Amino acid sequence: MVISHGDCPCLPEPANSLLWFEYAAGLGVDALEMDLMLTADGEIITFHDKSWENLSNGTGSVRETTVSYMEKHIDVSGSYSKYDGMIISPPLLEEVLSTFSGNPEIRFNMEIKTELEDRVLVAETLCRTLRNHDVIGRTLVASFDTENLDAVRKECGNELATSSSEAETRSALVPIILGLDLWAWWPNKKPNGEISVMQLPVEGGGFRLTEKKIIDRLHGHGVAVMYWVINDRETMLELIANGADGIITDEVETLREVMAEAGKAPPPFSQ
């Protein structure tokens, strides 16, 4: 799968904005990756950080900001001169799904960035929104925190695919690397939903995590394997050769070219 990364100042359109999602979809991707935050009025928006400072013209907490204030004052297009004089605010998740839910070729990779204390509200709001737009079967939800994922698994059940948290990933990789996973494997069958995917960096704990052995072992346990954030051709080729199921990238066009070189059909262009 070609998965466009939602957050990087290198992107040709503002990160996590509707402009970027539309641009990326037009390049031909399997899924749009995005980060989820919560506003003061309980709305889910696509934004990477808990505060506005680093990625917008705003200050203060995203969680303490209303949607109406955000839409009038928060601009994420500061480094893009073509939008001078305009306010490009983060979109509501509702807006993103309204734009893309009618295209069955587009899937969604959503990473929850919110505070753990909001996990139940986020899970309820997210699952309701996905069901309302009939995209719950086309969505993968990720988070570094097990608590966020367990709340979503409980609320959405097996309709929704989830990745492993940081702790779940670590508990799986250690026995794999040591060759003990046939005896010491955590169950990917969770009580409230299944761990469908493991999303990995290139390296972790001093180990190279792109090895075919790791991918094959995870496949043997019924878990798909994806990698982030891969922008160089050499690693893309390595992962394709080793059987990775997906690559999250800022360089969508490069990944499409590499797939074609490797004899893999890239996803169709979005209509």
Average pLDDT over residues 258-266: 94
- pLDDT by residue (tens digit) across 46-87? 999 999 999 999 999 999 999 999 999 999 999 899 999 999
* The dihedral formed by the CA atoms of 236, 238, 244 and 245, expressed in degrees to the nearest 10: 30
The whole-angstrom separation of Cα 182 and Cα 66 is: 50
- pLDDT by residue (tens digit) across 172-212? 898 898 888 887 766 566 666 678 999 999 999 899 999 99
- On whether residue 268 sits in a domain, the answer given is no
- On whether residue 167 sits in a domain, the answer given is yes
Q: Is the dihedral of CA 11, 115, 136, 228 positive or negative?
A: positive
- On whether residue 257 sits in a domain, the answer given is yes
- On whether residue 106 sits in a domain, the answer given is yes
- On whether residue 271 sits in a domain, the answer given is no
Domain hosting 106: range is: 2-261
* Nearest residue to 31 via CA among 99, 106, 82: 106
| pTM, rounded to two decimals | 0.95
pLDDT over 70 for what percent of the chain?
Answer: 96
pLDDT computed for residue 182 by the predictor: 80
Identify the CATH number of the domain in which residue 167 sits. Answer: 3.20.20.190
- Residue 37, classed as helix, strand or coil, is strand
- On whether residue 267 sits in a domain, the answer given is no
The whole-angstrom separation of Cα 36 and Cα 114 is: 7
- pLDDT by residue (tens digit) across 104-121? 999 999 999 999 999 999
- On whether residue 197 sits in a domain, the answer given is yes
CB-CB contact of 234 with 11 (8 Å): no
The whole-angstrom separation of Cα 197 and Cα 15 is: 24
- On whether residue 266 sits in a domain, the answer given is no
Q: How many domains does the chain have?
A: 1
Show the tokens assigned to 226.
């994806």
pLDDT computed for residue 183 by the predictor: 76
pLDDT computed for residue 181 by the predictor: 84
- pLDDT by residue (tens digit) across 202-258? 999 899 999 999 999 999 988 999 999 999 999 999 999 999 999 999 999 999 999
